[in-house]
Chains A and B, each alone.
Chain A
Amino acid sequence: MTTLKRHYCLAKLFFSASALIGVTVFTATASFCAEPATNALGNGLDKDSPTYIKSEKLKLNSTTRTFLYEGDVELINGDMTMYSQILEGSYSEDQRIQKMVAKKDVLIIKGPTIRATSERADYVEASGTMVLTENPEIQETGSVLSADKVIIYLNENRSEAQGQVRVKIVEAGNAESSSKSNNKLF
C-alpha cells in the first residue's frame, strides 16, 4: 500500500488541472490545510469557553466520575458543535472532561470550515483531537472526503484522513458528481 501525504492545497491544484468532477479514490493520508489556530488554548476542548450539553437522559456517577448521555445529544464548546445519540466518558477531579466517546449519528461542526460525520468519535484529550471512525466523512465547502479514520485537531482547525481516502467533489448548491467543470470547487 502506497502511503501518500497530500496537502489540501496540492489537492486543489490537482483537481483543478484534471477538471474532473466526480469521485477520486486513493490510499493516502490526506491533510486538509486550514487557517492557523486563532487561539492557543492547549490540548482538547476550549477550556476558556463553557461546555453545554443537551440530551434526553443523563446518568452521572460522581464516585467513578463517569457520564452517559443518551438521546439527541448536542455538545457545544467554543466554535465546535457535536451531535450524537450517545455520549459517554469520564471527567477529572477538577471536573475537566478527560475521555469522551460519541456514538451513533455523529455530526461535528467546527467553525465555518469543518463538518464531519461518522458513527463513532473518540475525544483524546492528550492530543487535543477528535478521532472519527466507522464510516467517517468530512465535508468542506462542497467536497466530501471519506476514509477509514478522520482526525480533527481541535486547536489547530485542521483535519487529517487516514486509510483508504475517497474524495467526492460536489457542485456548489447542487447534487454531487456533477459533470459541470466550470463549477469546480477546488
Chain B
Amino acid sequence: MNRKTRIRLVVSTVVVTSGLALLVIYNRPPPKVMQTASTAATPSSAADTSSFTLENFHRFQTREGKKVWDLTAVRGKYGGSNQNMDLEEPYLEVAQEQGPPATLRSKTAKVVIDKGEIGAAHAFGDVVIVSDQVTINSQEALYDPTHNRLEVPSRVKVIKAELTVESDRLIADTKKQIFEFYDNVETTLLPR
C-alpha cells in the first residue's frame, strides 16, 4: 500500500465516522423525555401494509430520569397512525405520585399513545388493576391514566384488605380514590 492509498483510506474513514456521528447526534431524543420501543418487527400481512406486528413489545417513557410509564406485551400490533396498538398479554405500569406504580394486566388491550402519554388503555379478558393496595378484577376496563379515570362496564370486584365490593359497573377517580359502583352492588366486610 503506497502513501496515496493510505491517505485516501484515512480520509474515507474520517468522513464515514463523522457522518455516522452526525447521524447519531441528529437522531438523539430530547434530553428530558425519552421514549423507547424495543421490538422485532414483522409485517402483519401482505394486504395490511399500514400496520406491523412486534414480538416482545416494550415501550416506556421517562421524564427527568424517572419512568412515567412502562408497557410490555407478548405481541403488539401497531395501527396505521402508529399511535394505536393492539396488544396481547399487556402489562402496564404507571408511576404514581406516591407509592408503587399502578399496574394493569389483561389478555388483550387496545392502547392509544398520544404525544408520549398513554391516552387510553381498553383492556379485555381477566383484567387485573392494582393501585394503592386496591385490586380490581373484571373482564373489561377502560383506563385513562392521564385523567386518572377508570371505567369498568362489566361485573367488577374491588378488593382492599378485608373489604370487597362487587357491582355491574364502576367509575373511579384513581387519583382521588373515589369509586362509584352501580347496579347490584354487594359489599362484604370481613372481620379482622
Contact = CB atoms under 8 A, between A and B. Distances in A.
Interface residues of A, number: 21
Contacts of A7: none
Interface residues of B, number: 25
- Which of B176, B177, B180, B185 lies at the interface centre, i.e. has the most chain A CB atoms within 10 A of its CB? B185
Contacts of B3: none
B192 A51 contact: no
- Tell me the dominant secondary structure on chain B's binding face: strand
Given A49-B191, A50-B188, A50-B190, A56 B180 contact: no
Contacts, number: 73
A35 interface: no
Contacts of A58: 165, 167, 179-181, 185, 187
B126 interface: no
B80 to A, nearest CB: 40
A6 interface: no
A24 B114 CA distance: 74
A57 B167 CA distance: 9
B160 A53 contact: no
Contact of A51 (B161, B183, B189): B189
Interface of A: 47-63, 69, 94-95, 97
6 closest A-B pairs by beta carbon, nearest first, are A62-B177, A53-B187, A51-B189, A58-B181, A60-B179, A58-B185
